[in-house]
Amino acid sequence: MITREKIEEIADSIRTTLGLTYPYDPEKATTLLNGTIKPISIDHKIDAAIKKNGEKGFIIYLNIDEPVLRKRFTVAHELGHLFLHMGYLNDKKKWDSISDDGFQDSAYFRMLDNYSQEENEANEFAASFLMPKTEFIEIAQQNLSHNQYSIKPIADYFNVSVSAAINRGKWLGIFAW
């Protein structure tokens, strides 16, 4: 299991290393990391998947029919698998052990309604990547009045769905469960 703090740290270091600034764009990150996004159609019944592409690259298969906010989160989620579970650029042994056909398939679990630990970790990575901790707390403060957070403007600021912003606030211990 990878701790929440560690996931936060990895997401921060990737944003910083790539020189990404607000608004954080996971597709741009993918390109900078030598990855490729390939569209898949809706009849695949999955949102996305990630696959190794040679020694120095990867492919994210993305359902392009999904809404924009969801696609952003999904690509960031797949990047979570890439760094946390495939070892890309941080665990050579693990990365080398993955074959070119080695899939890390999120939506498979989603379809079975079975949220595995890896799925949770990839979701936390996506949230950390799209909504950096310090900035999230700052923006949340700006949208706090009478002890009540307005979630919509926070979600809009980070270009994520309302539910993604709520989860991030909960994981950070700012919003009540």
Nearer to Zn ion among residue 103 and residue 175 (C-beta): 103
What the block records as the tokens of 164 is: 């993604």
- 40 class by beta-carbon count within 10 Å (0-12 exposed, 13-18 middle, 19+ buried): middle
Per-residue string for binding with Zn ion, 28-67, x by CB under 5 A? ----------------------------------------
Nearer to Zn ion among residue 33 and residue 122 (C-beta): 122
Q: Which stretch binds Zn ion (CB under 5 A): 67-75, 105-113, 135-143, 169-177?
A: 105-113
Q: How far is the CB of 121 from Zn ion (least distance, A)?
A: 9
106 binds Zn ion (CB under 5 A): yes
75 binds Zn ion (CB under 5 A): no
Cβ-count burial 97-128 (b if 16+ within 10 Å, e if not): ebeeeeebbbbeeeeeeeeeebbebbbbbbbb
- 173 class by beta-carbon count within 10 Å (0-12 exposed, 13-18 middle, 19+ buried): exposed
122 binds Zn ion (CB under 5 A): yes
Distance separating alpha carbons of residues 61 and 72, to the nearest angstrom: 13
Distance separating alpha carbons of residues 113 and 131, to the nearest angstrom: 25
Binding residue count for Zn ion, defined by CB under 5 A = 3
Nearest one of 18, 141, 26 to 81, comparing CA atoms: 26
Nearer to Zn ion among residue 98 and residue 151 (C-beta): 98
Q: How far is the CB of 41 from Zn ion (least distance, A)?
A: 19
Q: Which stretch binds Zn ion (CB under 5 A): 13-21, 95-103, 116-124, 146-154?
A: 116-124
Q: How far is the CB of 80 from Zn ion (least distance, A)?
A: 7
Nearer to Zn ion among residue 119 and residue 124 (C-beta): 119
For CA atoms 57, 63, 68, 71, give the dihedral sign: negative
Q: How far is the CB of 142 from Zn ion (least distance, A)?
A: 32
What the block records as the tokens of 174 is: 């700012």
Enumerate binding residues for Zn ion (CB under 5 A).
106, 119, 122
